[in-house]
Copies of this chain bind each other. A is one copy, B any other.
Amino acid sequence: MSGIRKIVNDPVYGFITISHPLVLWVIDHPYYQRLRRIQQMALAQLVYPGAVHTRLHHSMGAYHLMCNAIAELRLKNVQISPEEEVAAEIAILLHDIGHGPFSHALEQTLIQGVSHETLSLAIMEKMNEEAGGKLSLAIQIFKGSYEKPFLHQLISGQLDVDRMDYLTRDSFYTGVSEGVIGYDRILKMLAVREGELLVEEKAVYSIEKFLVSRRLMYWQVYLHKTVLCVEKMLVKIIQRARMLISAGVSLQAPSPMLDYFLRLEGPFQPDTDLALFCQLDDTDILAAIKCWTQHGDKVLATLCGMIIDRKLLKVKLTSTPVDPDHQRICLEELVRATGLSEEEAGYLVFSGESTNTTYNPRDERIRILFKDGSVKDISSVDNALIQHNLSRPVKKYYFCYLNQERIADWFNHKPI
């Protein structure tokens, strides 16, 4: 492995530089290249047409910020060896390697009972075997078991480079310019005390703005009512397909890998299932959805056609729970108008809740290093914007349903 230097154009940061052969090996690995085919924001592009960037691009961006963070910390005399640097860079490159098609939207749905973090770790270990153990330190850092906790905190913590990149990148690609955070300033204000990651006092306002931007991105983008609705529709499609299979209805996904996981009944078996999982990406789901628009099951075909033609369920987002009577009436109307059974109609009229917390001091812990050497949580700083009232999770309730007009479109073959 000799000296290399690759430069990749990035609209967000200008250029990303790769200068270590092990980093390049990771990036060139088919498991990593698979992330090119997984969109970072699933189907949020149905609302924000620019939001089509990939997991590969996000993780390369986070890698770039990690390089910068390490350079800044070294300027402040934090000791980081070349091996630790490469390991931290690889850990962040691979932090999301366990994401499946449409990422969070189908997490726990497609592969039931397994989080993407668990899958990331399993894949990293598989790659480590191939690499003859060269990724062991990266894995330790990823797991948080390495002796310098700040390296793990840079990957997974309240101010990690993962969040900094996804907020910056998602804000950039959606065009929601208000989500922009001052990542460069925060990076310059990082510090390490007793192995823990802190931020300097003068970054307080930047961090306030970081948290408020995150809050804005959640409510305006990630939990945008239509984005939420599309994600729930994706879930319903997978659930319906599974149900049909288990009911013995003839149904096939055009992709054998997807087909396998739809039929998988027991728990995920890394030994056999991981290699197959590593071949799954957004294409498999989209190809299935396109195919199923012609399926004989009216519910499945309707949901799939709605996604493809972007003629979505109506959705309401409220701060109080959905009235069960209202939902029932809606369902019954649908049953009456279409002849679907109640069970079937339940895929087209449903409700649920989503939650977001702006800042939870119990498990988030942004700690501020003051000039006099003292350390405080940001929520205890004088006159702080981020106070205890923000630690309460905010719940919103969604209600998705098929309205009259759509019923006509899908069930009565009226021209559009």
Q: How far is the CA of A219 from the CA of B50 in the complex (A)?
A: 25
Within 8 A of B (CB), among A19-44: 19, 28-30, 33, 36-37
Q: How far is the CA of A176 from the CA of B10 in the complex (A)?
A: 8
Indicate if A54 sits at the interface (CB-CB under 8 A). Answer: yes
Indicate if A291 sits at the interface (CB-CB under 8 A). Answer: yes
The closest CB in chain B to the CB of A76 belongs to: B5
Indicate if A279 sits at the interface (CB-CB under 8 A). Answer: yes
The closest CB in chain B to the CB of A208 belongs to: B212
Q: Assuming A213-B209, A385-B215, is B30 touching A308 (CB within 8 A)?
A: yes
Q: Is the CB of B8 within 8 A of A385?
A: no
- Cβ distance A16 to chain B, nearest Cβ, rounded Å: 9
Q: Is the CB of A10 within 8 A of B182?
A: no
Indicate if A145 sits at the interface (CB-CB under 8 A). Answer: no
Indicate if A178 sits at the interface (CB-CB under 8 A). Answer: yes
The closest CB in chain B to the CB of A311 belongs to: B28
Indicate if A113 sits at the interface (CB-CB under 8 A). Answer: no
By a CB distance below 8 angstroms, the chain B residues around A82 are none
Indicate if A130 sits at the interface (CB-CB under 8 A). Answer: yes
Q: Quick one: which of B28, B45, B206, B415 contacts A36, CB cutoff 8 A?
A: B45
Q: Quick one: which of B182, B283, B394 contacts A283, CB cutoff 8 A?
A: B283
Q: Quick one: which of B28, B45, B385, B390 contacts A310, CB cutoff 8 A?
A: B28
Q: How far is the CA of A5 from the CA of B50 in the complex (A)?
A: 20
Q: Is the CB of B9 within 8 A of A188?
A: no
Indicate if A79 sits at the interface (CB-CB under 8 A). Answer: no
Within 8 A of B (CB), among A365-416: 382-383, 385, 387, 389-390, 394, 415-416
Q: How far is the CA of A178 from the CA of B36 in the complex (A)?
A: 25
Q: Assuming A205-B215, A358-B385, is B50 touching A7 (CB within 8 A)?
A: no
Q: Quick one: which of B10, B175, B213, B385 contacts A50, CB cutoff 8 A?
A: B10
Copies assembled:
4
- Cβ distance A118 to chain B, nearest Cβ, rounded Å: 25
Q: How far is the CA of A8 from the CA of B11 in the complex (A)?
A: 21
- Cβ distance A49 to chain B, nearest Cβ, rounded Å: 5
Indicate if A269 sits at the interface (CB-CB under 8 A). Answer: no
Within 8 A of B (CB), among A184-226: 184-185, 188, 205-206, 208-209, 212-213, 215-216, 219-220
Q: Is the CB of B10 within 8 A of A175?
A: yes
Indicate if A284 sits at the interface (CB-CB under 8 A). Answer: yes
Type the 1/0 row for A148-192, where 1 means its CB is closer than 8 Å to any CB of B: 000000000000000000000000111111101110110010000
Q: Is the CB of B287 within 8 A of A255?
A: yes
Indicate if A97 sits at the interface (CB-CB under 8 A). Answer: no
By a CB distance below 8 angstroms, the chain B residues around A28 are 310-311
By a CB distance below 8 angstroms, the chain B residues around A394 are 383
Q: Quick one: which of B54, B57, B213, B319 contacts A382, CB cutoff 8 A?
A: B319
Indicate if A48 sits at the interface (CB-CB under 8 A). Answer: yes
By a CB distance below 8 angstroms, the chain B residues around A56 are 49
By a CB distance below 8 angstroms, the chain B residues around A1 are none
Q: Quick one: which of B7, B50, B319 contacts A57, CB cutoff 8 A?
A: B50
Q: Quick one: which of B174, B205, B286 contacts A11, CB cutoff 8 A?
A: B174
Q: Is the CB of B290 within 8 A of A14?
A: no
Q: Is the CB of A50 within 8 A of B53?
A: yes
Residue among A36, A256, A358 with the most chain B CB within 10 A?
Answer: A36
Indicate if A309 sits at the interface (CB-CB under 8 A). Answer: yes
The closest CB in chain B to the CB of A186 belongs to: B178
- Cβ distance A312 to chain B, nearest Cβ, rounded Å: 11
Q: Quick one: which of B52, B209, B319 contacts A54, CB cutoff 8 A?
A: B52
Can you offer 9 A-B residue contacts whose CB atoms are under 8 A? Answer: A10-B49, A11-B50, A12-B175, A14-B184, A28-B310, A30-B309, A49-B60, A52-B54, A206-B216
Question: In the complex, given contacts A30-B308, A177-B182, A385-B390, what are 9 additional A-B residue pairs having Cβ atoms less than 8 angstroms apart?
Answer: A10-B50, A12-B175, A29-B416, A49-B60, A52-B54, A178-B206, A283-B283, A283-B286, A385-B385
